[in-house]
Amino acid sequence: METWQFLAHGIVQGVGFRWSVQLLAQKLGLPGTVRNNPDGTVTIVLQGEPETLRKFKEELPSASQFAKISRLDVKVLPKMEKMHSFHVLY
């Protein structure tokens, strides 16, 4: 089990992107969070097996027909508390 943080840049706010992220994460059985940032980016934190997290990363660009990800930064977060569900944060 790993915890990954994704930082999505581009047209990712005001286009339903967080809800698309939630649907994709739930489809893949990944608990975590998604939130808008003041700088226009979106932060996604997910927990799961590395192969499932890689699948999420692969499918994310096509999860929303309106969002356009120009860059996606990914890092592994060490020693995170276990997450049990997915939440959209405000």
Catalytically active residues are 18, 36
With contact defined as beta carbons under 8 Å apart, do 42 and 21 qualify? yes
Q: What are phi and psi of 55, to 5 degrees?
A: -65, -40
Q: Quote the crossing angle between the two packed helices 17-28 and 50-59, to the nearest 10°.
A: 140
Nearest to 3 by CA among 35, 36, 30, 22: 30
If one counts every other C-beta atom within 10 angstroms of the C-beta of residue 58, the result is 9
